[in-house]
Amino acid sequence: MVNQYTEITKYYDLWVTSGYYDFQSLAKEAHSIVGDGRQVLELGVGTGLLAQKYIELDPTCEFTGIDFTASMLEIAKQRLGNQVKLIEADAVTMDLNAKFDVAISNGGVWGILDQGDQAQWQFGGHVPGLEANRQGLANVARHLKEGG
């Protein structure tokens, strides 16, 4: 699928690894919550930078990444090989015929932002429209195991 992210694919890794994200820290934080050997779904896997760091921490996990940008997934496939199942899909409409222990998103689709000492959280994402966000979150919930 051609979309707005197709145009930034060749610059994406340079942009997000130049201080925008610390993928090692993000992977450690996610893994500390999720634990070992889980079935993990990453929403908006992009070029696989977070997935790479996560599976380095937990090679026993079953990691699946979705993204709706084919050019990003091509880079992820080069980076990750067969360590991760990569699927071209949109989180709002995906039908993966699978259940996962946990779904993670590092802002690729959605993110929850800590507002610091205000003890408030802000929901943000790349899905336009309130109804599409509701649909997408419900769809992700359908892909989670009970308690996920």
Q: Residue 18 pLDDT more than 60?
A: yes
| pLDDT at residue 116 in the model | 67
Contact 23, 31 (CB under 8 A): no
Strand ranges in 20-119 using DSSP code E only, listed in sequence order: 39-43, 62-67, 85-88, 102-104, 110-114
pLDDT, position 128: 78
Interatomic CA distance for residues 148 and 141, integer angstroms: 8
- Residue ranges per domain, the chain? 6-29+36-142
Q: Which CATH number fits domain 6-29+36-142: 3.30.110.60, 3.40.50.2000, 3.40.50.1450, 3.40.50.150?
A: 3.40.50.150
Q: What is the pLDDT of residue 123?
A: 67
Number of residues that make up the chain: 148
Q: Using the predicted structure, report yes or no on whether residue 117 has a pLDDT greater than 80.
A: no
Q: How many CA atoms lie within 13 A of 131 on its CB side?
A: 0
Please, is 13 exposed, middle or buried when counting C-beta atoms within 10 Å of its C-beta (0-12, 13-18, 19+)?
middle
Quick check: 48 pLDDT over 70?
A: yes
Distance (Å) of CA 25 to CA 42, 106, 130, 138: 16, 12, 30, 28
What number is the average pLDDT over the span 66-80? 96
**Predicted local confidence at residue 146, as pLDDT:** 93
DSSP secondary structure letters along 28-56 = HHHHHHH-TT-EEEEET-TTSHHHHHHHH
Tell me the pLDDT band of 114, cut-offs 50, 70 and 90: low
